[in-house]
Chain A
Amino acid sequence: MSDHHVTGVGSYVLVFLALMVLTAATVAAAFIDLGAFNDLVALLIAFTKAALVVTIFMGVRHASRMAKITVVAGFLWLAILFGITLTDYFSRGFLG
């Protein structure tokens, strides 16, 4: 429950504008050669955008503790899925 807190129109519009800027940024950064960092920059921007949507649009900023824990759990479990699966793929070459 958003705890009866009403986020104002202004906040939503500001977040929208920020998301537009970040979208432009990610496209621009994609065309600049940053070598290995292109991926990292793209992911960082994507995470920032997602964080804005989660905290403001989805109201997690004012949500109950269990809602916040659920959000964290979702991403944590995703990390488990990615991370441990990748230990297989990254270490396959070790034996040469």
Chain B
Amino acid sequence: MSTAPPEAQTQPVSSKLRPWGKQHHFDSFDQQQEASYFGMWLFLAQEVMFFGGLFTAYIVYRTEHTFAFTLGSRELDVQLGVINTAVLIGSSLTMALAVWAAQTGRRKAIVAFMILTILLGGVFLGIKTVEYSAKWEHHLVPGPNFHWEGSQGNRVEMFFNLYFVMTGLHALHMIIGMVIMAVACWWAWRGAFTPENHNFIEGLGLYWHFVDIVWIFLFPLLYLLGRNVG
């Protein structure tokens, strides 16, 4: 605590900003923090299974309709996909640094890093919007608007079914995370997080990294199919 920058200690903190003070039913603050951490991990385990259903559908249909999926995948813009991957991994870095800042009592740094994370998330979503619009224009959005020249049109539509549901659900998780992060920025600015008490930031970090991991798998599975043939 003595190594913390001075401003962390001089900011007055009202008890209303610290909903994570020790709750009555815990014997110690440590017990509470461990419980909350464990709870977040369990939540992420169920998130794994939530996306898992989609990946199952992907594996089954990719195996059954490999060629059509390759055709669909080649419609995706690898460059934008790579940029998005780098952006999202970068946002994981900034979020990890936000956690570090919380652990070392750097109040302003927590806010700065989380704002950076939100901005990078915004870039990701912006690029995704560009991609989605392009798909709409090329009649690759499933439903009445879908149109494919050439064979396998139906199965290519299935590829795009999965593309939109998987990336859409992923984007929804990102938006939820960013909203919570914005609220956390506000709390952090008011000094709610200290080296002893910043579990919320750690939990948020876990959530954000999970979102990153989902994309780490989505990117090659959706964007990089069949690029090995001419």
Is B125's beta carbon under 8 Å from chain A? no
Q: How many residues of B contact A (CB 8 A)?
A: 49
Bound CA span A85–B53, Å? 11
Check if B216 sits within 8 Å of A50, measured CB to CB: yes
A33 contact from B41, B86, B89, B229, Cβ within 8 A: B229
Question: CA of A12 to CA of B202 in the docked complex: distance in angstroms?
Answer: 15
Does B96 contact A57, Cβ atoms closer than 8 Å?
A: yes
Whether the Cβ atoms of B227 and A30 lie closer than 8 Å is yes
Q: Cβ of B213 < 8 Å from any Cβ of A?
A: yes
A74 near B49 (CB under 8 angstroms)? yes
Give residues 24-61 of B contacting A (CB, 8 Å).
30, 33-34, 37-38, 41-42, 44-45, 48-49, 52-53, 55-56, 59-60
Question: Chain A, 21-64, contact with B by CB distance < 8 Å: what is the 0/1 string?
Answer: 00100110011111100100011011001100110011100011
Q: Is the CB of B100 within 8 A of A30?
A: no
B217: A residues at CB distance < 8 A: 46, 50
Contacts of B216 in A (CB 8 A): 46, 49-50, 53
B100 touches A85 (CB 8 A): no
Across the interface, name the chain B residue whose C-beta is closest to A4: B103
Chain A residue numbers with a CB within 8 Å of B96 are 7, 12, 57
B38 close to A64 (CB less than 8 A): yes
- Which residue of chain A has its CB nearest to the CB of B63? A89
Given known A-B contacts A23-B85, A74-B45, A81-B49, A67 and B38 have beta carbons under 8 A apart: yes
B147 on the A face (CB < 8 A):
no
Judged by a CB distance under 8 angstroms, whether B78 is at the interface is yes
**A–B complex contacts, Cβ < 8 Å, 17 sampled:** A1-B34, A8-B100, A16-B92, A19-B89, A26-B220, A42-B220, A43-B220, A46-B217, A50-B217, A58-B206, A58-B210, A64-B37, A70-B38, A74-B44, A81-B49, A82-B52, A89-B60
Spell out B's residues near A (CB within 8 Å). Answer: 30, 33-34, 37-38, 41-42, 44-45, 48-49, 52-53, 55-56, 59-60, 63-64, 78, 82, 85-86, 89-90, 92-93, 95-97, 100, 103-104, 202, 205-206, 209-210, 212-213, 216-217, 219-221, 224, 227-229
Known: A53-B92, A81-B53. 10 other contacts (CB 8 A): A1-B33, A20-B86, A23-B89, A32-B228, A45-B220, A57-B205, A58-B206, A66-B38, A77-B48, A85-B60
Q: A-side interface residues toward B, CB under 8 Å?
A: 1-2, 6-9, 12-13, 15-16, 19-20, 23, 26-27, 30-35, 38, 42-43, 45-46, 49-50, 53-54, 57-59, 63-64, 66-67, 70-71, 73-75, 77-78, 81-82, 85-86, 89
Q: Which 5 A-B pairs rank lowest in CB-CB distance, beginning with the nearest?
A: A30-B224, A74-B45, A74-B48, A42-B220, A33-B228
